[in-house]
Amino acid sequence: MIPALDEADNIGRVVTELSALPEAPDVLVIDDGSSDDTREVASRMGASVVSMPFNCGIGASVQVGVWMALAGGYEVVARFDGDGQHDPRQLERLRAHLDDDTADFVLASRYLEKSGFQSTFMRRLGSRWFAVLLRAVSGLKITDPTSGCWVANRKAAEVLFEEYSSDYPEVDSLVHLGKSGCRIREISVDFRARAGGRSSIEGLHVLYYMLKVTIALIIGRVRPTGAPNDGDPGWISSSTIKQSPSSARSSR
């Protein structure tokens, strides 16, 4: 799945690269209320596209992708960013750890071996802060907790579907996964520089991001598992999704 907001400049390349893999996965783009041609470009490149009715935040978009994967009966779900930072050729490496059952959730890290694109100093510093905090509150040793590239099996996907922050969800979702007994593994992956467009975390957003994630990490440790019950989403069972061939292909 590729959550995307205003990524018309990059999304085509990401979809094309994923589709060109030897074992091409089904590609689902979740358009989070883009004001550009993200939806059209992704669709033209052969991806299945789900459009959020308005900008709901990256977490809500990822949750839709996870939801469709679970409902479609898929055993593995992967997340790639729409800005082209993640090399789709790494998908098989990430997935290998799920296949040999040594992990439930595999996270791509740009800092484990410090190779490839390393981001700015301030971002590395922020990531380091979250890594230290994550280890303190949950005991997880993660070098790149803000990474948006991962693969998950059904066990981890069900945890993410149950609870996933609507904005800046990456770090506190690791706490939730850890608390739920999921085995988390991190492997070194070379990231690439953003091909075009702008990051959503700039200017004052950085301050909000740091504060929000720090508080969410600490609260997440003492929070009971399970989101408030807002009704049963069971209407979209695997049978209803499977009636649609394109839906089933889209997230496997």
Partner 1 sequence: MDFEFNYQAVAVISTLVALVAILELIRRRRIQDVLWLPWLLVAIAPAVVGLWIAPWAKLAQWLGIAYEPLILLVGASLLSFAMLLYLSVVVSTLIRRNLKLAQELAVLRHKVENLESPQESE
Pick one of 5, 64, 151, 213: the residue that binds partner 1 (CB under 8 A): 64
Helix axes 170-179, 204-222, angle to 10 degrees: 10
Among 10, 34, 138, 247, binds partner 1 (CB under 8 A): 247
Taking CA atoms, 100 is separated from 79, 96, 179, in Å, by 20, 6, 22
Q: Could you say which residues in the range 205-224 bind partner 1, by CB under 8 A? A: none
Q: Shortest distance, CB of residue 114 to partner 1, whole angstroms?
A: 37
Contact 10, 83 (CB under 8 A): yes
Total residues binding partner 1 (CB under 8 A): 28
**Does 165 participate in binding partner 1 (rule CB under 8 A)?**
no
In whole angstroms, give the CA distance from residue 62 to residue 105.
15
Task: Report which residue type is found at 242.
Answer: K
Nearest to 89 by CA among 166, 20, 171: 20
Q: Which stretch binds partner 1 (CB under 8 A): 130-138, 170-178, 201-209, 229-237?
A: 229-237
**Interface with partner 1, residue 45, by CB under 8 A:** no
Single-letter residue type at 43: S
41: buried, middle or exposed (CB in 10 Å: 19+, 13-18, 0-12)?
buried
Smallest distance, Å, CB 30 to partner 1?
8
CB of 158 to partner 1, least distance (A): 16
| Residue numbers at the binding site for partner 1 (CB under 8 A) | 30, 48-54, 56-57, 60, 63-64, 67-68, 166, 227-228, 230-231, 233, 236, 240-241, 244-247
